[in-house]
Structure 1
């Protein structure tokens, strides 16, 4: 789980620490500027005011001179040549002499001009103690709090992460439901995580039981349906061997045989749909035109006496690698729909290199009916007795199973065009 919940939490805390660090660094820079142009300037101004008060009491009072501060006084009427060269041209006010490493306050009064020089080295040291050190302590405090919060959050989400990893490794066909049994859960899994694991355990058991019932039903139904179909096929074969059968009886027996083959194809298709998608069914190369012609012969019996002509045009002879009976079911359903809903005109089947197209001149469908045509049990003309509404749904599911594409176009009172494309589709190849 490269993008799981623990990773997202870790990223969130890292972003939080980075943002906090940037905020503190910006705050430190602002504090340093304010310290230099605020605190130091105010200190020098106050120091100058204090000196002038002392000077009024005793003009012999010398300027301040200590470890961090140097003072120079140029009395009125005297030359400033006694000053250091860097101070002689300064006007009254605050000056930052970066080259000399000095912060200077010039205060001019009637009695003279006072120069107070604060060494930048001392200012930096004071700033370190009053600005940088508190900022660093605050930064370390934020890092520590973030780390502790991250560890606590990680402990809280670790049961959910463990559960997600376990479920993601399950084989969909044989999930390890027993791993979620209450006695096999981690000891630190409590609260909502344990409830979720318990619910998944119950749900997994129900799903597994349901899948087993479906497998058993599919296997048993396939066996039970094939047995009577085999009897019907053998009995019809034996009946057709009778020499004195009428043409009407021969046609009836042949229809019984075709219906039996159709039923076997439907059973095979249902079994394919019931299997897991990664289990490949037994496939062979076969001629698409042969399947279309055979299904067209079966569909002609549905037309009866209707003035409808069913035509087949094989413009190409593609071969398809798939279970042949699947295409029988697909084409058979499309042809039965076309014959059932066409009262006059033509039903035309065209086989091209990459597709089979069934075009009719039937009743067609309105746009809302066309949008629902592939829904199970939906019928565009429910007043007609034929059909259950499952044919097109089965066609779409089979085409999706083998990577084919089924398309439907229809105009009300004009006709319908159904097309199955094979080319460049995964799971089935045409050549």
Structure 2
């Protein structure tokens, strides 16, 4: 496939040659008209003036009769029957005789009328040599100059074209810039293009280093975070197995255990986002309603002491093939946001065959806040202690990763409705 720059240069030169051709053809046509109606007319008028001067000196002077001009003299009082038939009815002036292929000048003087006939074939021959041949020569010169200029321009941009082809073949995550090393560059890659190749090679190296650091960080961070979480879960499991726990202590341990599970799910979701898009995470069939019920129990704990009702409505089954931890993170964030920003009223979660709807009667959002809800670290009410403004951006990125569509409708002071389209 041709790259943009060579194609544009070729198009520009083709357009230039076309416009030059049209201009020269128009100029040639104008030259023909000038020769036909200007030059021939001027020649005939000069020939007529010269004849009348000679006629004044010698009345027996015959009219011109040359290879290009035929002359006829009709003296005053003579009958026009002596003239050729096609000239008898002509008035004084210049005439183009289409049928007989002639150009005729009728010049009237007191001594009579002079008819000068110029053969059109002669005019065409003059136009050919004085008009068309120069036009063709100029046209060939324009074509030759355009071709030479195009070849020079093509040679000038070929290093850029070569560089563009090499860069277009790079893997965005693992760019191989070995071909841009100075010893492997073609000889015609010089000047600014060589500097550009060096800059691209350096940038590719930095991208590779960045990808390697990110990969190592995600691997090390997941390992280091999972270790204390495993300890927390095992310790909470052992503590919950004790028979001497008070109800309050049992609830606290259950919250610790649930928070550890949520943290593990969040770590898995973040690792999925950190992987390349072409690597599919491990998925399984899961019922959305089961995840909603589990997350609703966790979110209900934050409603203690507030007059808020949280209800789950299952209108239809909604099976989904997805990594379970991803669905837990998305639904958990939506429910926690709805509960955290609802001081009184209701939070209704509806599971349908292809979507999930979370509606609350909380504080709502203005249109300005609604437009920024997916920005990292943005919070509707910064004075609230809960949250850091990262929940909804993570939800949005996970939805993009798995092809889900999330929509928010909110009215300030009346609540928010979140629709998550899953199919």
Q: TM-score, normalised by structure 2?
A: 0.97
Structure 1 residues 189-200: aligned runs within 5 Å: 189-200=189-200
Deviation at 1:323, TM superposition (A): 1.0
What is the aligned partner in structure 2 of residue 135 from structure 1? Answer: 135
What is the aligned partner in structure 2 of residue 415 from structure 1? Answer: 415
C-alpha distance in 1, partners of 2:90/2:368? 90
C-alpha distance in 1, partners of 2:92/2:307? 115
What is the aligned partner in structure 2 of residue 427 from structure 1? Answer: none
What are structure 1's unaligned runs of at least 5 residues? Answer: 424-431
What is the aligned partner in structure 1 of residue 223 from structure 2? Answer: 223
Deviations 1:89-121 (A, max 9, x none): 111111111211111111111212111111111
What is the aligned partner in structure 2 of residue 242 from structure 1? Answer: 242
Deviations 1:139-189 (A, max 9, x none): 111111111111111111111111111111112232111121222222112
What are structure 2's unaligned runs of at least 5 residues? Answer: none
What is the aligned partner in structure 1 of residue 45 from structure 2? Answer: 45
Tell which deviates more after alignment, 50-59 or 406-415: 406-415
What is the aligned partner in structure 1 of residue 145 from structure 2? Answer: 145
What is the aligned partner in structure 2 of residue 296 from structure 1? Answer: 296
Asked whether 1:175 is paired with 2:161, we answer no
Deviation at 1:47, TM superposition (A): 0.2
Structure 1 residues 323-338: aligned runs within 5 Å: 323-338=323-338
C-alpha distance in 2, partners of 1:119/1:136? 24
Structure 1 residues 266-415: aligned runs within 5 Å: 266-415=266-415
Tell which deviates more after alignment, 228-237 or 345-354: 228-237
What is the aligned partner in structure 2 of residue 260 from structure 1? Answer: 260
C-alpha distance in 2, partners of 1:322/1:93? 96
C-alpha distance in 1, partners of 2:3/2:27? 34
C-alpha distance in 2, partners of 1:80/1:358? 109
SS of alignment partner, residue 220 of structure 2 = helix
Q: TM-score, normalised by structure 1?
A: 0.95
What is the aligned partner in structure 2 of residue 19 from structure 1? Answer: 19
Tell which deviates more after alignment, 189-198 or 98-107: 189-198
Deviations 1:218-265 (A, max 9, x none): 111111111222222222222222233332232222222211111111
What is the aligned partner in structure 2 of residue 426 from structure 1? Answer: none
Deviation at 1:3, TM superposition (A): 5.1
Tell which deviates more after alignment, 237-246 or 121-130: 237-246
C-alpha distance in 1, partners of 2:147/2:326? 61
Deviation at 1:398, TM superposition (A): 0.6
Asked whether 1:69 is paired with 2:69, we answer yes
SS of alignment partner, residue 202 of structure 2 = helix
C-alpha distance in 1, partners of 2:412/2:70? 103
Tell which deviates more after alignment, 393-402 or 299-308: 299-308
C-alpha distance in 1, partners of 2:385/2:91? 109
Deviations 1:198-223 (A, max 9, x none): 11111111111011100010111111
SS of alignment partner, residue 147 of structure 2 = helix
Deviation at 1:389, TM superposition (A): 0.6
Deviation at 1:191, TM superposition (A): 2.1
C-alpha distance in 2, partners of 1:201/1:259? 46
C-alpha distance in 1, partners of 2:382/2:245? 39
C-alpha distance in 2, partners of 1:262/1:80? 119
C-alpha distance in 1, partners of 2:175/2:317? 45
What is the aligned partner in structure 1 of residue 98 from structure 2? Answer: 98
What is the aligned partner in structure 2 of residue 9 from structure 1? Answer: 9
C-alpha distance in 2, partners of 1:373/1:337? 12
C-alpha distance in 1, partners of 2:282/2:274? 14
8 A contact 2:289–2:317 mirrored in 1: yes
C-alpha distance in 2, partners of 1:259/1:387? 14
C-alpha distance in 1, partners of 2:244/2:382? 43
SS of alignment partner, residue 81 of structure 1 = helix
What is the aligned partner in structure 1 of residue 233 from structure 2? Answer: 233
C-alpha distance in 1, partners of 2:3/2:184? 26
C-alpha distance in 2, partners of 1:171/1:371? 34
